[in-house]
């Protein structure tokens, strides 16, 4: 499959869906008055899709990989913040486990895409076999 637009990338689409889940989560419960934490977790989740898109628009696989690594790092940041939110009682165990698993899977998918990109040369389109 060839990707001509970043919007076609499954990892970008998944990051948008997970971003929406974080925004909904932080619109309720203890996050309401914890403005700093709410802002931090929202900025981190925005960073995931933004870095995937920015990297895609760059001129080389090396640059794309660099931005994907930043994106993957933001996934780790979100997972860490979810642990903190759980410890504070902002999120219950079931929701924590569900979101943590989804972000863990996204990190693996981004990692697989990074491995793929390290093996191919950029020709304007990315082909996943």
Is 1 domain-assigned?
no
Task: Tell whether the model's pLDDT for residue 17 goes beyond 70.
Answer: yes
What's the total number of domains in the chain?
1
pLDDT at 28: 83
Is 64 domain-assigned?
yes
Task: Tell whether the model's pLDDT for residue 122 goes beyond 80.
Answer: no
Each residue of 77-106: pLDDT tens digit? 999 999 999 999 999 999 999 999 999 999
Is 69 domain-assigned?
yes
* Phi, psi of 121, rounded to the nearest 5 degrees: -95, 145
Is 26 domain-assigned?
yes
Is 72 domain-assigned?
yes
Is 2 domain-assigned?
no
Range of the domain at 84: 10-121
Each residue of 36-64: pLDDT tens digit? 999 999 999 999 999 999 999 997 889 99
Is 74 domain-assigned?
yes
pTM metric for this prediction: 0.90
Q: How far is CA 43 from CA 23, 47, 50, 91, in A?
A: 10, 6, 10, 18
CATH value at residue 46: 1.20.1440.60
């Amino acid at each position: 499959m060839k990707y001509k637009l970043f919007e076609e990338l499954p990892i970008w689409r998944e990051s948008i869906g997970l971003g929406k889940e974080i925004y909904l989560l932080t619109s309720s419960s203890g996050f309401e008055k914890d403005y700093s934490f709410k802002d931090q977790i929202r900025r981190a989740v925005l960073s995931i899709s933004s870095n995937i898109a920015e990297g895609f628009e760059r001129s080389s696989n090396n640059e794309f990989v660099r931005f994907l690594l930043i994106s993957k790092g933001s996934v780790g940041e979100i997972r860490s913040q979810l642990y903190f939110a759980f410890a504070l009682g902002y999120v219950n165990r079931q929701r924590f486990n569900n979101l943590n698993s989804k972000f863990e899977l996204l990190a693996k998918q981004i990692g697989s895409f990074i491995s793929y990109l390290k093996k191919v040369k950029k020709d304007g389109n990315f082909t996943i076999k």
